[in-house]
A and B are shown apart, each in its own frame.
Chain A
Amino acid sequence: MPRPARWPPLAPTKDIGDYLFLRGAISRWLWRIYTQRFTPAGRWFLLATAIFVVYGGASLQLQAYVAALYAVAIWFVAAAVLLVYRPRCRLAFRLPSRIGAGQTLVADVLVEQRGTLRGADLLLLPHRLPFEISCVPPGGVALPDLRRGETADMRVRLHCTHRGTYTLHGFRIESGFPFGILRSRQTFHQPQTLLVYPKFNPVSRIDLPTARRYQPGGIAMTSQLGESFEYLGNRDYRDGDNPRDIDWRATARAQRPIVREWVEEYMLRAAVVLDTHVPGALRGKGAARRRDDFERAVSLSAAVSDYMARQDYVVDLFAAGPNLYHLTAGRSLAYLDQILDILACVEENPAEPFDAIEPEIAELLERLSTVICVFLDWNQARREFALRLRAGGIAVKIIVVNNEQRTELDPAADAGSFGEIPIIAREQFDRGLSQL
């Protein structure tokens, strides 16, 4: 998602990102110095010093130079200490690799004091967090008084607001000693990728016009339940398997639950098509509204995929941003986590995505029972795409995510072809969609 053209936050934990005004190496370096080396108190004092220096520099006959010289002396001593003293610690931490949007990640950090001097005013804080992730509390966590060799278990909370793939750079320990205006620091770089899943509420029911389709040879490795006729073999029990399929003799022999596996050739298979189109021509509020709708569409796709996976469908997820994503999941093929992995990093597309999706979906046309299209608008291009799918003999369910509830074509006019087409507004989405 493109960043707005405004100044990045002054929080010492935040990185600059790709802000419009800070693209050059020097400007980025200066900004980092200003936000990470100067404390908030230091920044205010810098302003006060500037006032004294500018006013006092005009004439030595006036006494303003006295305050200016004292302010400069304070900076001088603080800078001298910064050169001499810096924290000396050892850190060990592990961070989870996945979390949901709106959730708070808890990082347990073990800090060991290594310096001969005991630490002074030490703070533990995450290093260069992306804009979408905030440290709680924003200023970091104060470390206890540690002697050499002593350790402390610290807990840092990171609040993740938006879905996406982010790099966490690690942590740093810093000290504002002696005056709390400049920070000395020790950085622990340990880059790690964090996937933030889209936020979604589970859907309890979706009205789907559907039928089982022949899957030639079945799909390798799918777990089979009930409607299978050809015995494939035994395997270990997995969560969600039907207890009726437990092979009790094999279980007794192996001393662990074993289930029978079947080749199923008839099963429910559904595709979820996510509309990623945010036209490049859109600017300002129009683009922002469309992006909001897109984020809700992503969350809705997650909810639909979750529902389908729970209903023992095989789910094919199609999303075409700058890259085309196609994942087949459900029934032990892949888990919801993997669908969410894709939905965490899918990006908007300035071009219509159907040219990329249609050939891919055409290959599966004969095997699909249902296609659920999560659109951002209902217009001629989308209508034709849906009609072509329907002409292929597939049941099509259309859901439009549009906060303004204004679409190019009237969805009610196509109710005869596709059934009722719901238009989901933000308020409705925020309340939670129990059924579609």
Chain B
Amino acid sequence: MTSNDGAILRNDRLPISIAGASIAAFAMLYLTADRERNLPLLPVLGAMLLLTYVTNWRLPSTQWVGYLLRAMLFGAICFIIGIPRESAAYWYFERDYTTLGGCLLAAEMVVQAWRWRDWSQPSEAAGVALLLTALIVAAASNTYKHRVVEWLVPLYAALLIIALRGFGTPARPRRRPALLAFRAIMALAALSTGYACVESVYRFDSRITHLAMKLLNRPDLRAEIGLSDTPYLGKSSIPSNRCGGFR
């Protein structure tokens, strides 16, 4: 396989596992977002991502082509979804902002997939793709729809586990069935642990929140902070103590 510049590349396709993780992240964003506003957008982006497996053509390596494509995609996304008008201090918890951000990140993911890259060698390209999917998942998880997240995150995690092993590591010898089975058991153990933790948190949500509130409020500190009508000396370091003065 050769690039537009004639350089020999080993693998110019996004690894299947990362593509799968990306599709899972897109799906999560699609299902958790306001579907009326971005109805065609994420499926189209997903299809564009998968199209990289159909053709060998890739974006020319000149930088301006990438930036032009980004500008077009980002512009189209902003036009379809609309830029949120209300300014928010905590914008990263605002649904409108996180949906828009997630869609922009999904578009960036598509651009990355269409660029000429040797996905088999440097870990950087795969790392950036992984980070993009993580950010999309984070944006998608700004929701109250627990059931959607509960099903799609394990799928995303499973694909991530497969993707992580392929990061720019040297060619490995022939795979052994026993080793594959053992690895699958480990992956299942991780997913089961994750599931158990999620279910526990979901079930004891109110208790954990209450506990956290108690810890954060620190009632033991309240008496020592601010003006008290019955002041007393706590454990404080007074320099005069050292020379045997006030105790």
Contact = CB atoms under 8 A, between A and B. Distances in A.
B142 A142 contact: no
Contacts of B143: 62-63
B190 to A, nearest CB: 4
A120 interface: yes
Contacts of A368: none
Contacts of A143: 173
A180 B172 CA distance: 12
A242 B135 CA distance: 76
Interface stretch (A43-51, A257-265, A377-385, A406-414): A43-51
Interface of A: 39-45, 47-48, 51-52, 55-56, 58-67, 69-74, 76-78, 81, 118, 120-121, 123, 137, 139-145, 176-181
A180 B167 contact: yes
B169 A176 contact: yes
B208 A60 contact: yes
A66 B141 contact: yes
Contact of A77 (B144, B167, B170, B186): B186
11 contacts: A40-B127, A41-B164, A56-B138, A60-B201, A67-B149, A70-B191, A71-B157, A118-B176, A121-B172, A179-B161, A179-B190
B193 A76 contact: yes
Contacts of A45: 130, 160, 164
B189 interface: yes
A63 B144 contact: yes
Contact of A51 (B138, B182, B191, B209): B138
Interface in B183-212: 183, 186-187, 189-191, 193-195, 197-198, 201, 205, 208-209
Interface of B: 32, 92-93, 123, 126-127, 130-131, 134-135, 137-138, 141-146, 149-150, 153-154, 156-157, 160-161, 164-174, 176, 179, 182-183, 186-187, 189-191, 193-195, 197-198, 201, 205, 208-209
Contact of A139 (B127, B134, B169, B176): B169
B186 A60 contact: no
A62 B153 CA distance: 14
Given A60-B208, A145-B174, A178-B183, A69 B168 contact: no
A374 to B, nearest CB: 42
A65 B174 CA distance: 38
A55 B92 contact: yes
A142 B150 contact: no
B141 A178 contact: no
B186 to A, nearest CB: 4
Nearest to B140: A63
Nearest to A49: B134
Nearest to A152: B173
A69 B197 contact: yes
Contacts of A44: 123, 126-127, 130-131, 167
B22 to A, nearest CB: 13
Contacts of A51: 131, 134-135, 138
Contacts of A74: 157, 160-161, 190, 194
A60 B200 CA distance: 12
Which of A140, A143, A180 has its CB near the most chain B CB atoms (within 10 A)?
Answer: A180
A52 B138 CA distance: 6
A39 B157 CA distance: 18
Given A40-B123, A60-B208, A142-B172, A66 B138 contact: no
Given A145-B176, A178-B183, A178-B187, A48 B198 contact: no
A52 B130 CA distance: 13
A40 B165 CA distance: 10
Contacts of B149: 63, 66-67
Nearest to B192: A73
A142 B168 CA distance: 12
A145 B173 contact: yes
B157 A180 contact: no
Nearest to A41: B167
Given A67-B157, A72-B197, 11 more contacts: A43-B127, A48-B130, A62-B142, A66-B198, A70-B194, A74-B157, A77-B193, A123-B169, A178-B183, A179-B164, A180-B167
A90 to B, nearest CB: 19
Contacts of A73: 190-191, 193-194, 197
A78 B166 CA distance: 16
Contacts of A71: 157, 194
A77 B189 contact: yes
A123 B176 CA distance: 16
B171 to A, nearest CB: 6
Contacts of A65: 198, 201
A72 B195 CA distance: 11
